[in-house]
Structure 1
Amino acid sequence: MQNNWKPSASIKDLIKRAKIINNIRLFFLEKKILEVETPSLSKSTVTDINLTPFETNYLFLENNLNKLKLWLITSPEYHMKRLLAAKSGPIYQICHSFRNTEYGKRHNPEFTMLEWYQTSYSMHEFIDQIDLFFQKILQSKQAVKISYQEVFIKYLNIDPFSTDICELYKISKKFNLQHLTCFEKNLNTLIEILFTLVIEPLLGEYQPTFVYHFPIEQASLAAKNSKDDRISERFEIFFKGIEIGNGFYELTDYLENKKRLINDNKNRRKMNLPIRKIDNNFLNAINHGLPLCSGVAIGIDRLIMIALNKKSIYEVMSFAFDRC
């Protein structure tokens, strides 16, 4: 199309975007939290079954047939944890991340992420800090904080930790989701579907909402709760029915980190997905000693979309995927 040379966002909104990102940096500067930069290219990638990375090759000048496989990062998590293990102290980064197959009003294959790690903070202490961040950047009201269990009881009148498949089938039918659930036999997958499609759109209408203590099956690299082994120290942040952040009280145990990455690959094999080589630099950093810390990844494009009252992240990006 003739007009595809033009930016996705107006120049006026790009100026507003720049001011918001500047305010984010000022927030961290005032708190004396170090801004870092880590590679966009990596020799290893994530094992997460929900993420599809982009791959490329480095060509050696002396022999173009000799290639080194590289990956564009899906997030800077592994590299930033290596910095934490090297005693960086609290750090943050604003960077581009890349995820294949993700495209829509709230997804772009290349997007801007804020990743922030705070040492010596529990999950709840960190949630309070992020709440202050949103109040500063979005001028939002104080956030709502609710557990995963409580949010299911509130909106669906079920306990996700004691429900069964029959009950979940009935609820999915009530919300006309049986086309997605009728052949699904995994309890956790059914719970995730209901959370994503029924509960998420209802969250954070007037102020940010933190949902915490996700099931251990959805822990990723979050620590297990010390009092209840069914739940993890993981939280997600929602505003205007949109997920804008995902955070953990970080898993610091080397063997458990390794076990979870290996289990990811076992699940990949079951789902006929490519097996991913585990990042030994990441694991060696954990083995050296990751300090007790909490971390969060926040989608900057979504945050700015909300701040500027837009319906799509493309309205706040200079050049979205269809114009790149």
Structure 2
Amino acid sequence: MSNWQPSATLDALRRRAAIIDQIRTFFRQREVLEVETPSLSAAAVSDPHLFPFVCDYVPEGGGSAQPLYLHTSPEYPMKRLLAAGSGPIWQLAKVFRNGESGRRHNPEFSMLEWYRPDFDHHQLMDEVDELVRQILGSAPARRVTYAALFAQQLGVDIHTCQQEELAALGRSHCSFDGQLDRDGWLNLLFSHCIEPTLIEPTLVYAFPVSQAALARVVDGDDQAPSAARFELFIDGMELANGYYELSDADEQLRRFEADQLQRQSLGRPVLPIDLHLVDALRSGLPDCAGVALGVDRLVMLALGASRIDQVVAFTLERA
């Protein structure tokens, strides 16, 4: 049977277009500049759990091929724009993640990403909530710390528990008998036991310091220092991931190098570090918060769709 026709109905695509128009209006009214950045980069994301697509650029007329990476997020070049003095910016980009395919995943998907100078993560949570409520007509999101969810759902204090206790919970609740480090057990328990229960809009914040990624570490969000990071969940699905952005170039480089060591330990290829970003941070990134939001998932929620192929024209299977 031929798969030439779109997977989504034309009505769904029209409704998707209307939602994107709402998003554009939201930022226009707030005087946030829409930008475009390249999809190809000479460097790659450092996250050990993301797998970028690699392609070769071959100069016309011959020459050595140069490996380039399709971006998994427009974050790095957008931060370079911020360091250059752009002010508040947003982008709706196609992004690419190898190996991600399923009911809620397609290896090519649409990401809304925006950055707000002079915002911290709490102020950005307000704006994320406002945008999502406008699109979905949903109630205000409740806010809860990462540690509080573990205490409520699993009866464990992540600040004081030992790794062996997390491992026992993982084996008991997730039927997993492998070996993981502390963050591995936390991630397993969160994804299997906590995330599916977050049906109503929920903003989770104060992640463990070890999961800071590109976020600052702050005091005051929890009883211990925590990552200034948040995630939005609706209907048991992650919708957005935001940070009070790290601006220390040396610390960013240290985290990139730690990611590379973890890649090696997992038997994954070491990828080029984006030194342009490090140089931009060194020149001065304004105090800012940023967030990435999955547009396809937002449209799924708005349309009551259960699969991503119901809201995009052509998934991988029909490419």
Determine helix, strand or coil for the equivalent of 1:213. strand
How do 1:147-296 residues align onto structure 2 when only pairs under 5 Å count? 147-175=145-173, 177-178=174-175, 180=176, 182-203=177-198, 205-206=199-200, 208-227=201-220, 230-296=225-291
State the Cα deviation string for residues 72-117 of structure 1 (Å, max 9, x = none). 0000000000000011111100010000011111110000000010
Instruction: Give ranges in structure 1 of 5+ residues lacking alignment.
Output: none
How many equivalent residue pairs?
Answer: 317
Shift of 1:174: 3.5
TM-score, length of structure 2 as denominator length: 0.97
Which residue does the alignment assign to 1:17? 16
Moved over 3 A (4+): 226-230
1:229 to 1:46, Cα distance in 2 relative to 1, 3 A? farther
State the Cα deviation string for residues 240-297 of structure 1 (Å, max 9, x = none). 1000111100000111001000110111111111111111111111111110100000
Match of 2:100 among 99, 102, 105: 102
Determine helix, strand or coil for the equivalent of 1:115. strand
What amino acid is aligned across from residue 111 of structure 1 in structure 2? F
How do 1:23-62 residues align onto structure 2 when only pairs under 5 Å count? 23-62=22-61
Instruction: Give ranges in structure 2 of 5+ residues lacking alignment.
Output: none
Whether 1:140 and 2:138 are equivalent positions in the alignment is yes
What amino acid is aligned across from residue 216 of structure 1 in structure 2? V
Please give the alpha-carbon distance, in whole angstroms, between the structure 2 residues aligned to 1:40 and 1:273: 22
Shift of 1:172: 2.6
1:138 to 1:13, Cα distance in 2 relative to 1, 3 A? same
Shift of 1:184: 1.6
What amino acid is aligned across from residue 321 of structure 1 in structure 2? L
Q: Which moved more, 1:261-270 or 1:218-227?
A: 218-227
What amino acid is aligned across from residue 226 of structure 1 in structure 2? D
State the Cα deviation string for residues 105-157 of structure 1 (Å, max 9, x = none). 11100000000101101111111111111111111111110000111111111
How do 1:110-125 residues align onto structure 2 when only pairs under 5 Å count? 110-125=108-123
Shift of 1:29: 0.5
Please give the alpha-carbon distance, in whole angstroms, between the structure 2 residues aligned to 1:101 and 1:317: 18
Match of 2:126 among 125, 128, 136: 128
Match of 2:313 among 307, 310, 318: 318
Q: CA RMSD in A?
A: 1.2
TM-score, length of structure 1 as denominator length: 0.95
